[in-house]
Amino acid sequence: MSTNTITTQKVNFKVFRFNADNDYLPYYENYAMDVTSEEVVLDILNRIKWDHDGSFSYRRSCRHGICGACAIKVNGRSTLACKESMTTMIEYFGNEITLEPLSTKRAIKDMIIDKADFWDKHASVTPYLVADIDECPSCENLVSPHDAEELNEADLCIQCGACHYACPVVEINSDFFGPAAFVAAYRFESDIRDGDNQRLIHVNEEKQGVWDCAKCFECAEVCPKDINPIDKITKLHQMAFKKGVAKNNVATRHAVGFLHSIKKHGMLDEGGLVLYSEGVSIVKHIPVALQMFKKGKIIMPWNMPKSDKLDEIQKLIKSSSTVKF
């Protein structure tokens, strides 16, 4: 048996404190503590409550990474408190550690937030199986391992909200469903038993849907279950084209426009892409385009560079395309 020596380090914790009932503004309390290499972030929350201030509040239940209640932010990074080792956090951020709720503007008491927007969005993607299933079947409704793989582990989501409150678009556009709701949508869209025909349309709507994702990969980075929400978002994009629910709009034309451009030039024709995506709305880009033109940033169509061996690229497009729009 290997004997791991337990080490101890001094850490200064700067902890977000707020009680919506009494406090006008939040404040930060400092706690200096000895942290052992065996502790997780939840141990620290417990010790603050037990040893320093009994009124300190946070959510936790399972302490096994299952209930999804304990997600908070450590130095701005969304983490599952019961799963995240303090050693890793110290490696990442050093000995000055800030503990905050997932979203400070939604704080109710200390680490506890009002997660209503998260649940509302979750509920609005029909996060359940819609199927005509015989309630008294004569045999089991089996899903083959191969079909189950299609879920790509989206069913492991514990709705902790780490990704949702790490998503920059959620912060700016309150209509945006956010990565966790998309994971839920994908989980049921990819289930062969599901027969819902509205969900995919709903998550493709402008402003709220998958096309407003900025592709920043914050959600993939934070997910404690390694679900990779942006990968599910990409799959929802692909499904929209495959199932014919993709609307003809600036976002979808933007994706398809790449293909047209590559077919013609091998490279991307930047101006051509904007024109193809925007149509007549291109006029709104003219002021910036003029400035760019003056600085030699815009190539005239007749000077558009082409990839060498363009015929190879065209041949591959012909043989390897799997989608039609």
Dihedrals φ, ψ of 16, to 5°?
A: -65, 125
Q: Which is nearer to ligand FES, 68 or 229 (CB)?
A: 68
Q: Which is nearer to ligand SF4, 44 or 213 (CB)?
A: 213
Taking the complex as a whole, how short is the minimal distance between the CB of residue 294 and another protein, in angstroms?
8
**Contact flags string 263-292 toward ligand SF4, x per CB under 6 A:** -----x------------------------
User: What whole-number distance in Å separates Cα of residue 213 and Cα of residue 190?
Assistant: 20
Helix (H, G, I), strand (E, B), or coil: what is residue 198?
A: coil
**Contact flags string 215-254 toward ligand SF4, x per CB under 6 A:** xxxxx--xx-x-x-xx--x---------------------
- Helices (H), strands (E): how many in the chain? 13, 7
CA 43 to mean position of chain CA atoms: 27
Q: Pick the binder of another protein from 97, 180, 220, 227 (CB under 8 A).
A: 220
Helix (H, G, I), strand (E, B), or coil: what is residue 178?
A: coil
For position 201 contacting another protein by CB under 8 A, the verdict is no
The radius of gyration computed from the CA coordinates of the chain, to the nearest angstrom, equals: 25
Find which of ligand SF4, another protein, ligand FES, none residue 97 binds, CB within 5 to 8 Å per kind: none
Q: Pick the binder of another protein from 111, 133, 266, 283 (CB under 8 A).
A: 266
User: What whole-number distance in Å separates Cα of residue 144 and Cα of residue 138?
Assistant: 18
For position 146 contacting another protein by CB under 8 A, the verdict is no
User: What whole-number distance in Å separates Cα of residue 201 and Cα of residue 204?
Assistant: 5
CB of 239 within 8 A of CB of 249?
Answer: no
User: What whole-number distance in Å separates Cα of residue 73 and Cα of residue 14?
Assistant: 12
Find which of another protein, ligand SF4, ligand FES, none residue 282 binds, CB within 5 to 8 Å per kind: none
User: What whole-number distance in Å separates Cα of residue 154 and Cα of residue 217?
Assistant: 16
Q: Which is nearer to another protein, 112 or 151 (CB)?
A: 151
Between the alpha carbon of residue 269 and those of residues 30, 161, 170, the distances in Å are 54, 39, 31
Q: With CA atoms as reference, report the closest residue to 285 among 271, 297, 267, 265.
A: 271
Binding site for ligand SF4 (CB under 6 A): 157-163, 166-169, 179-180, 183, 213-219, 222-223, 225, 227, 229-230, 233, 268
Binding site for another protein (CB under 8 A): 75-77, 92-93, 168-169, 172-173, 176, 206-207, 211-218, 220-221, 228, 234, 237-238, 241, 249-251, 254-256, 258-259, 261-262, 266-268, 270-271, 274, 277-278, 287-288, 291-292, 295-299, 305, 307-309, 312-313, 315-317, 319-323, 325
